[in-house]
Structure 1
Amino acid sequence: MKLLKIEDLHVYYGGIHALKGITLEVPENKIVTLVGANGAGKSTTLRAISSLVPIAQGKISFRGQDITKTKTADIVKKGITLVPEGRRIFANLTVLENIQMGAFSRNDKDGIKQDIKNIYEMFPRLKEREWQAAGTLSGGEQQMLAIGRALMSRPVLLMMDEPSLGLAPLLVKEVFRIIKDIYGKGMTILLIEQNATAALQAADYGYVLETGNIVLQGPGKELAANDEIKKAYLGKA
């Protein structure tokens, strides 16, 4: 089943034509990745799905329903959550308060309590730092917190924008292990990642964006082995 479908999507930033009619699909229970250089339109795509940027033309469907003009808060309620680039945690709030913020659209107290317990089981370091101000966490811990907070909304589709950005190589491996773990529990993931090699190896399917256009697509491992892709995006001749 196609969980998310984007058709002929156009987005402008001021005078810049950021997305030039892209069409893509995210099947249920799959990892789909968007790769490409900075400024290709990857983050804009996620922001358009979340209704964080205005859509000039095109259609976005989720579970067969048109969500193109849906408000951001209602997008979250429908089951789409974004882990933003740069983590965007609430630095002055505690770890626990940040996690609770992820459940803002819910009122099932017992369910929320159980989900916090599940987050702590997934990320024991967050449990250890439960009452610590989130701004004092390391970069890796903040990324875990951003993912944990996103999972509190019980998403059907988890979108991740550069989850390994600025992290040490060992933590990058840990982030990808977490992504695989979440996926293994039945989550659908739409991933943007600067580490194109790791993203394509992890993904079931990939799209290559270039200045607002999709120029290549295919199974993740096939794209990772493509010489043209290696040369352009993976830093290998």
Structure 2
Amino acid sequence: MLKLTDLHVHYGGIHALKGVSMEVPQGKIVTLIGANGAGKSSTLRAIAGLIKNKKGQITYNGKDLTTATPVDIVKSGIVMSPEGRRIFGHLSVFENLMLGAYSRNDKDGIAKDLEWVFELFPRMRERREQKGGTLSGGEQQMLAVGRALMSAPEVVMLDEPSLGLAPLLVRDVFEIIKTINERGMTVLLVEQNAFAALKVAHYAYVLETGTIVLQGTGSELAADKRVCEAYLGG
């Protein structure tokens, strides 16, 4: 469904991705794990069209998206919930969610998806008219994911969705990731919480300094001694 071939990304003199090749099959949860600075977020940003200085190829359902604009990528069915949430603090919860649907004109579908987001995140229904900037960290993360879902994507890219959340909320986030996937959406997940990410992933890649060094099913990597020592606390 989504394929990267020999992807290189540069930030000035920094070579952030060094020939990354990977595949994200339709209907699966694929996770990228690795230390800070390994290139995980750069991979998602490159797919989303937010990085211009890149080489290699990004294809989606056979279509070359390497030089596509972020708007065209969203319209093609790929959306990202960014690290740090990036919600609009001066806008209400409802307004933030509707911005996620900016590329759509199917009113009935938008209304249906809004209801689904409120079912996934009941707190968002309660906070519907509240300004985004007044929400707690966990609520802002819910809003960021909900906003991404409002574009009716085929592929949802989640960048550090559990970052900074309390353990109870972290558990909820990963349950929601499974629910999103069960609805038929493909998920590409970047996550520091390697244990939780591998537990839900059908397939996983380990990035180190811009290079994929290991790959396998989530259960295979969770049992790999090298992964356990480096990311799972031994």
Selected match of 2:145 from 144, 147, 150: 147
Q: Aligned letter for 2:24?
A: V
Amino acid at match of 1:119: V
Letter in 1 for 2:74: V
Q: Which runs of 5+ in 1 are unaligned?
A: none
| Structure 2 Cα separation of the partners of residues 51 and 81 of structure 1 | 10
Confirm or deny: 8 A CA contact 1:9 1:55 kept in the other structure.
Answer: no
| 1:31-90 residue CA offsets vs partner (Å, 9 max, x unmatched) | 000000000000000000011012432000000111101000010000000000011111
Q: What TM-score results when the alignment is normalised by the length of structure 1?
A: 0.97
Identity score, percent: 64
1:233, distance to aligned residue in structure 2 (A): 1.4
Tell me the distance in 2 between the aligned counterparts of 1:75 and 1:15: 27
Of residues 198, 202, 205 in structure 2, which corresponds to 1:204? Answer: 202
Please show how residues 8-157 of structure 1 align to structure 2 within 5 Å. 8-157=6-155
User: Moved runs in structure 1, 4+ residues, more than 2 A?
Assistant: none
**Distance in 1 (alpha carbons) for counterparts of 2:232 and 2:40:** 16
Corresponding letter in the other structure for 1:143: Q
Check the 8 A contact 2:11/2:53 in 1, yes or no.
no
Structure 2: gaps (5+ residues): none
Secondary structure of the structure 2 residue equivalent to 1:125: helix
AA aligned to 2:196 is A
Query: What amino acid maps onto 1:26 in structure 2?
Result: V
2:192 match: secondary structure: coil
CA contact (8 A) 2:92 2:132 kept: yes
CA distance in 1, matches of 2:135, 2:46: 30
1:193 to 186, 191, 194: 191
- Whole-angstrom distance in 2 between the partners of 1:54 and 1:39: 19
Residue 165 of structure 1: aligned partner: 163
What SS does structure 1 have at the residue aligned with 2:228?
helix
CA deviation profile, 1:103-128 (whole Å, cap 9, x unmatched) = 01011222212211121111111001
Q: 136-145 or 31-40: which moved more?
A: 136-145
Tell me if the contact between 2:158 and 2:189 (Cα under 8 Å) persists in the aligned partners.
Answer: yes
Distance 1:148 1:203 in 2: 20
Identify which range, 199-208 or 51-60, moves more after superposition: 51-60
Q: Which amino acid aligns with 1:111?
A: G
Which is further off, 111-120 or 62-71?
A: 111-120
Q: Per-residue CA shift, 1:124-161, capped at 9, x if unaligned? A: 11001110011111111111111110001000000000
Shift in Å, 1:235? 2.1
Quick one: which amino acid aligns to residue 233 of structure 1? Y
CA contact (8 A) 1:98 1:149 kept: yes
TM-score under structure 2 normalisation? 0.98
2: CA distance, partners of 1:168 / 1:123: 16
Q: CA RMSD in A?
A: 0.8
